[in-house]
């Protein structure tokens, strides 16, 4: 079973439509997700634990990145851009955090810079670097 970003997004948007007030909190190994009517906050606490839990759901192996890393990164960026555009169209926002600190905002409430995708805002450049390094360390 392969989990696609679009499938997760569609499920989250359907779940959000059920929320009238308040929020739904989901915690798992290395991750906390808070869903409200318009926002989703994804706080990655421990990338290594998260990869251990999520890896059976993903069709990504260590060998798949070798030799095609550039293509995979471009594909991932296209997916992020289309996802953020869909979120903005639905007036929804996803906040990605690393250990409680803002990293990226995608969707309706994003305020992008002059250069870059339209509905993606990078709020914490240092935290983003730390998160990427933590994932790379856990992956390798």
pLDDT in tens, 66-107: 445 444 667 777 888 888 999 999 999 999 999 999 999 999
**Contact criterion met (CB below 8 Å) for 108 and 127:** no
Any idea which of 30-39, 52-61, 68-77, 94-103 has the lowest mean pLDDT? 52-61
CB atoms within 10 A of CB 66: 8
Instruction: Fill in the DSSP letter of residue 57.
Output: G
Q: What pLDDT digit, counting tens, does each position of 115-133 carry?
A: 778 899 999 899 989 888 8
Q: Give the β-pairing of 31-35 and 24-28.
A: antiparallel
- Residues ≥6 apart with Cβ < 8 Å to 139: 51, 62
Task: Tokens for 24, please give them.
Answer: 């739904």
Per-residue model confidence (pLDDT) at position 54: 64
Distance CA 19, CA 3 (A): 24
CB atoms within 10 A of CB 54: 15
Region label for 67, one of left (φ > 0), alpha (ψ between -120 and 50) or beta (otherwise): left
């Amino acid at each position: 079973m392969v989990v696609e970003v679009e499938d997760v997004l569609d499920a989250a948007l359907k779940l959000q439509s059920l929320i009238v007030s308040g929020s739904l909190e989901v915690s798992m190994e290395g991750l906390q997700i808070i869903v409200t009517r318009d926002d989703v906050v994804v706080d990655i606490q421990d990338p290594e634990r998260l990869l251990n839990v999520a890896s059976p759901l993903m069709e990504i192996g260590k060998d798949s990145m070798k030799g095609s890393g550039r293509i995979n990164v471009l594909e991932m960026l296209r997916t992020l851009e289309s996802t953020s555009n869909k979120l903005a169209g639905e007036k929804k926002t996803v906040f990605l955090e690393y250990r409680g600190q803002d990293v990226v905002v995608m969707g309706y409430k994003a305020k992008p810079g002059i250069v870059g995708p339209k509905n993606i805002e990078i709020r914490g450049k240092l935290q983003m670097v730390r998160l990427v390094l933590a994932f790379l360390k856990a992956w390798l």
